[in-house]
Amino acid sequence: MSEFPSMPSGATPPAPSPATAPTPREPQRFEFTGSGGEYFRIWIVNVLLTIVTLGIYSAWAKVRRLRYFYNNTRFAGSNFDFHGSPIAILKGRLIAVLLVALINVPILGLLVLLLYFLGLPWLLYRSLRFHLANTTYRNLRFAFLGDAAGAYRALLVPLGIVIAAAVISGLTMLVSPWIGVPLLIVTMLAFYALGPYLQYRMRRYYTEGARAGEHAFALHVGVGQYYAVYFVAFAYMIALGVIASAVVGLTLGLDVQALAHPEQYPMGKLVALFVMVGGFYIAMLAVGPLLIAMLQNTVWKGTSLNGHRFYSDLAVPNFMVTWLGLTIATILTLGLYRPFAAVTLARLRVNAMAWTGNADDLVAILRQGSQQATGAEVADMMDIDIAV
């Protein structure tokens, strides 16, 4: 006997309801709407007032800059906003100035530097609280609920291991340089190799502490993916070196002794040499934007909020070439092209991002627990902003 109910003869089965059919959600793009000319007016006023006030206005300048870029970052037709107080930023700047002044005092310098490194995770924690608590979408606030202990675990523990190894190797050099020097070299290499791991731990701490309403952001990226990005950057640098050496050697036939007597070397070859060397160094500058673009794609493709995934498809070669062109234009204009460059790069990065949720999803998520974010974060007068 069939376990399904029978249908009358000749009857046609009902069509499935469209409401019950699962439909995959298409990612919705973020959009950047700023313009270089518009931001230039804000930027030039910020620069002049910062100079006139001996740097004090820099806190207000930062708020104006952040508000401009937040207000021109849109999702589903609505923009983000930044409500940070310049006083909180000024407190951070004053702390930084005080630290620099004390570090240069011969007796106190080493102690202050040690205290700075010990306090750096706490400063990072307070700065993240400040920024996310003052970020809004449709007047609904985000929040950062990570704690200081998490910042110390993320940042200080790995650094502490390397610093301890450096101290041990330094003491070993006093006893036996033959053992201490190789140990110190290994320690320095380990410090550089630890960079991607530290960056990964800080990103995980930031992402998992960030909140939209009562919902935490989630990071689905492993440390291996960070090392893969840095491996590509390292391979790019090696490849450039090999190509540059081969081109110089094959086309110019240059040797070291010839450079000792440039007056005997053909001028055309010398000009070609300088052009090639200059091109090599310009290409090496692209390592920075290579890392920025690849890390943005890696991190945001591995980030989600309330089950909705983020995406980023920033074109890495295009970003590298654009960044180089903007850098050259900024140098040639003695820095005046900088605001136009900042807007162009922001547009590339923001327009490459998307989220599978929509505006209603984000508003609904933010409304849950928004009172908690406002009370616990914004009213906290101890918040500071430190650029770490």
Written as one letter, the residue type at 168 is I
Question: What's the pLDDT score for residue 266?
Answer: 62
> Using one digit for the tens of pLDDT, what is the confidence trace for 64-118?
999 999 999 999 888 999 998 898 888 878 887 887 788 777 777 778 877 887 8
Question: What's the pLDDT score for residue 383?
Answer: 52
Question: What's the pLDDT score for residue 245?
Answer: 74
Question: What's the pLDDT score for residue 20?
Answer: 40
Residues of the chain under the 70 pLDDT cut: 1-25, 173, 180, 248-277, 369-388
Q: What is the 3-state secondary structure (H, E, C) of 37-48?
A: HHHHHHHHHHHH
Question: What's the pLDDT score for residue 376?
Answer: 40
| C-alpha to C-alpha distances, 32 to 56, 70, 74, 354, nearest whole angstrom | 30, 9, 6, 12
137 and 121 in contact (C-beta within 8 Å)?
A: no
CA nearest neighbour of 244 among 277, 207, 220, 288: 277
Which residues sit opposite 309 in a β-bridge?
A: 304
For residue 251, give both structure tokens.
């086309």
| C-alpha to C-alpha distances, 222 to 243, 297, 300, 344, nearest whole angstrom | 32, 14, 13, 31
> Using one digit for the tens of pLDDT, what is the confidence trace for 301-326?
999 998 899 999 999 999 999 999 99
The pTM score is: 0.79
Looking only at the bridges linking them, the beta strands covering 308-312 and 303-305 are: antiparallel
Residue given tokens 């059919």 in the structure block: 21
Question: What's the pLDDT score for residue 47?
Answer: 96
